[in-house]
């Protein structure tokens, strides 16, 4: 029986992570792989890594993380925002990798059909600390800066042509809901995203203010609403299994070398999901 695997936050340009790609291999050529974002910042590194993985797995499904969407100023003229995302989608299609813009695959090797739904959603700054709960966004960001917490997205993740990241997030939520609503009622789902759909996995964050850049309250019931068998995500660099309302949540990130070197179990570049 084929197996379903997942990984995320490979950050292949960080010294020490690239060799671990060789460990991401299937048990059989029929196995599938979910890649939940943050492969790299450079487009060619993202596509090259995904092409390598597609040579090994029968299907590879990718969603962007914030790092893929960064536009780092090096000579100017680089793609920004939606244009950058759509370029990545096109490059993935050229190598046979599935994206949030493609038809959903169905995993038929479970007790019920499971639609694999790759979701590109972003965040809208609605996950606040108690102190920032009723504050304006400007005040919430000021409080994060006071705590020395500022996500690099504030400098490199441009929402063009949308006025703000919140507006881009709202658009992505609308698009995703429309597609999820079309999944047959007899199907369960594997909900796959870079940012967690539910806030509970952010509990162990060293700096709780960072949750501002981690998700949106508008997806807090999606694991129930869309009959999730499992929700797969990354971004937090806190790889573990958690549960909410009887639904399994899998944070599958590899993370930076400075993080996995501190862990007794070392790097885990691949996780079995089903």
pLDDT digits (tens, 9 = 90+) for 92-103: 999 999 999 999
Angle, helix 81-94 to helix 43-54, in steps of 10 degrees:
30
What are 198's two structure tokens? 């539910």
What is the pTM assigned to this prediction? Answer: 0.97
* Cβ pair 61, 34 in contact under 8 A: yes
Distance between CA atoms of 271 and 274, rounded to whole angstroms?
Answer: 9
* DSSP for residue 20: G
- According to DSSP, the β-strands at 240-244 and 228-233 are unpaired
pLDDT tens digits, one per residue of 186-233:
999 999 999 999 999 999 999 999 999 999 999 999 999 999 999 999
* Cβ pair 54, 97 in contact under 8 A: yes
């Amino acid at each position: 029986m084929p197996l379903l695997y997942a990984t995320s936050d490979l950050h292949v340009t960080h010294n020490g992570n690239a060799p671990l790609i060789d460990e991401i291999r299937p048990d059989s050529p029929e196995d599938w792989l979910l890649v939940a974002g943050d492969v790299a910042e450079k487009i060619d590194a993202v596509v090259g890594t995904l092409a390598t993985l597609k040579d090994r797995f029968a299907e590879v499904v990718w969603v962007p993380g914030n790092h893929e969407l960064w536009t780092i100023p090096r000579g100017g003229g680089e793609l920004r925002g939606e244009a950058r995302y759509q370029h990545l989608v096109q490059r993935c299609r050229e190598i046979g990798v599935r994206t949030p813009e493609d038809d959903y695959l169905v995993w038929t090797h479970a007790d019920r059909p499971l639609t694999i739904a790759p979701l590109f959603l972003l965040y809208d700054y609605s996950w606040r600390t108690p102190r920032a709960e009723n504050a304006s966004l400007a005040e919430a960001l000021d409080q994060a800066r006071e705590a020395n917490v500022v996500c690099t997205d504030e400098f490199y993740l441009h929402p063009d042509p949308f006025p703000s990241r919140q507006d881009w997030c709202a658009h992505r939520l609308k698009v995703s809901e429309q597609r999820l609503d079309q999944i047959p009622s007899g199907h369960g789902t594997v909900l796959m995203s870079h940012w967690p759909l539910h806030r509970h996995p952010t509990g162990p964050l060293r700096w709780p203010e960072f949750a501002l850049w981690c998700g949106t309250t508008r997806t807090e019931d999606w694991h129930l609403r869309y009959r999730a068998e499992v929700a797969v995500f990354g971004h937090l660099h806190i790889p573990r299994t958690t549960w909410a309302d009887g639904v399994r949540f899998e944070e599958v990130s590899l993370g930076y070398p400075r993080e996995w070197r501190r862990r007794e179990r070392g790097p885990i570049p691949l996780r079995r999901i089903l």
